[in-house]
């Protein structure tokens, strides 16, 4: 039986909500954690299997991605940053942070990135309908899912502090680590 001494965290949210900013800031303040930007990781590790022209996005080979991430997840200390979370096995994950954003702010962020109007509309509608929050709640124990608002640097700092506090509590509550096995 293997144990991990650090928790694994998913930071998810609609594109433009601030998930990467949160993950990067958390990892910079907590160097024992490895930030995995799944989009970049998938490109760098040959996990792409095509391109969706309509959505203007790459298609990730999820099986290959999970095979590559599994040994890392078993060690613990991952901060997984991606726009979806349901593909990651529940036994890997200790905290799911769903970053949310005001729709007007989100629209402006996506427009500034140069997204096509159809992609902006799809993502803003996704945020309005709370799609990522619902996916997180449907796929993980609701006790490990946290919704955080992300609209400015103050909220970013407060959210990263909150995640760091959660990690310290996790360490106190699990001094021997946690099992990677299914219970």
Q: Which domains does the chain have, with CATH numbers?
A: 3-158 (3.40.50.300)
pLDDT category at 56 given cuts 50, 70, 90 is: confident
For the chain, what is the mean pLDDT?
A: 95
Question: Using CB atoms within 10 A of its CB, is residue 54 exposed (0-12), middle (13-18) or buried (19+)?
Answer: exposed
Instruction: Dump pLDDT digits (tens) for 138-168.
Output: 999 999 999 999 999 999 999 999 999 999 9
Annotated binding site: 16, 18-21, 113
DSSP-derived 3-state class of residue 106: helix
Q: What global pTM score does this model have?
A: 0.93
Identify the helix (H) or strand (E) that includes residue 107: helix 103-112
Instruction: Dump pLDDT digits (tens) for 12-44.
Output: 999 999 999 999 999 999 999 999 999 999 999
Q: What is the mean pLDDT of residues 35-56?
A: 92
CA atoms within 13 A on the CB side of 88: 30
First to last CA, the chain: 12
Cβ–Cβ under 8 Å, residues 97 and 146: yes
Annotated binding site for ATP: 16, 18-21, 113
């Amino acid at each position: 039986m293997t144990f991990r001494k650090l928790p694994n965290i998913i930071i998810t949210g609609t594109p433009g909500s601030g998930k990467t900013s949160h993950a990067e800031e958390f990892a910079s303040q907590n160097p024992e954690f490895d930030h995995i930007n799944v989009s970049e990781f998938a490109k760098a590790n040959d996990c792409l299997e095509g391109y969706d022209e309509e959505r203007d996005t790459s298609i990730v080979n999820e099986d290959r991605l999970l095979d590559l991430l599994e040994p890392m997840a078993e060690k613990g200390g991952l901060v997984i940053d991606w726009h979806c979370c349901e593909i990651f096995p529940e036994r890997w994950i200790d905290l799911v942070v769903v970053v949310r954003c005001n729709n007007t702010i989100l629209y402006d962020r996506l427009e500034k990135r140069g997204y096509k109007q159809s992609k902006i509309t799809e993502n803003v509608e996704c945020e309005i309908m709370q799609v990522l929050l619902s996916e997180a709640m449907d796929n993980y124990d609701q006790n490990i899912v946290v919704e955080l608002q992300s609209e400015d640097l103050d909220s970013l700092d407060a959210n990263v502090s909150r995640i760091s506090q959660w990690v310290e509590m996790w360490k106190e509550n699990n001094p021997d680590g946690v099992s990677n096995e299914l219970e």
